[in-house]
């Protein structure tokens, strides 16, 4: 599990069809200080397992499912750098939101416009992810925890306001319109959908306004 607060940037080099070498290019001491074999590291939001530790990076392997759903598949990898975050430690600060590192799919950058206080970036999302997008909700873009500013359901596009620090310290600054990004919807939305959707087991109660009132939520 991660928080969506990027700790550094790296480069990614394919070693085979499903194996990569990730080399740190910033914040080397932060990421390497307690990195161990078997640790989880989010690479552009994709949870990968450290299989070998190098002096300035590590080697990891991805499954066919990961290759299919993410930019690690090859053709869609367009940013010069990848965002890196080590897994959340027990008792650690959750400054963003709970990011699982299980990417739901890919979206595309539509536009990026600089304003006086931030960068306004608009992305398109596939229907399977757009269903979980709500204004002021959370979404992970290339592993970055961001707050959704607006959502246009008619074309499945949403916008986020990115502060200058996040823009400069992540690979968002490397993206151009049309580039692909990894998207992970908020896990809370998925659980809510699970609880209220048809196909419940016999012992599950339907979540209705009356149910919520009975259990003290309204």
How confident is the model over 78-134, as pLDDT tens digits? 567 999 999 987 767 777 788 999 999 999 999 999 999 999 999 999 999 999 999
Q: Do residues 39 and 73 both lie within one domain?
A: yes
Q: Do residues 14 and 80 both lie within one domain?
A: yes
Query: Does residue 99 form part of some domain?
Result: no
Look at residue 74 in the predicted model and tell me its pLDDT: 65
Q: Do residues 127 and 161 both lie within one domain?
A: yes
Q: Do residues 122 and 184 both lie within one domain?
A: yes
CATH number at residue 81: 2.40.30.20
Q: Which domain holds residue 34?
A: 8-86
Beta bridge partners of 22: 12, 58
Q: What is the pTM of this model?
A: 0.86
Query: How many domains, in total, are found in the chain?
Result: 2
Q: What percent of the chain has a predicted confidence (pLDDT) above 90?
A: 64
Q: Do residues 109 and 188 both lie within one domain?
A: yes
Q: Do residues 114 and 184 both lie within one domain?
A: yes
Q: Do residues 116 and 77 both lie within one domain?
A: no
Query: Does residue 79 form part of some domain?
Result: yes
């Amino acid at each position: 599990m991660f928080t969506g607060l990027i700790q550094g940037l790296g480069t990614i080099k394919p070693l085979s069809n499903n194996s990569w070498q990730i080399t740190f290019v910033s914040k080397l001491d932060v990421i390497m200080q307690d990195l161990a074999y078997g640790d989880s590291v989010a690479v552009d939001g994709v949870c990968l397992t450290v299989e070998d530790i190098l002096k300035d990076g590590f080697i990891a392997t991805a499954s066919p499912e990961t290759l299919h759903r993410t930019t690690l598949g090859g053709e869609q990898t367009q940013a010069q750098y990848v965002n890196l975050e080590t897994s959340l430690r027990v008792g650690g600060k959750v400054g963003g939101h709970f990011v699982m590192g299980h990417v739901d799919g890919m979206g595309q950058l539509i536009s990026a416009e600089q304003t006086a206080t931030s960068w306004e970036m608009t992305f398109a999302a596939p229907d399977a992810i757009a269903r979980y997008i709500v204004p002021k909700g959370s979404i992970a873009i290339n592993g970055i925890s961001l707050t959704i500013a607006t959502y246009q359901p008619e074309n499945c596009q949403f916008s986020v306001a990115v502060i200058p620090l996040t823009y400069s310290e992540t690979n968002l600054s490397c993206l151009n319109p049309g580039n692909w990004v990894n998207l992970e919807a908020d896990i809370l939305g998925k659980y809510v959908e699970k609880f209220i959707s048809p196909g419940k087991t016999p012992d599950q109660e339907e979540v209705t306004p009356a149910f919520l009132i009975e259990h003290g939520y309204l």
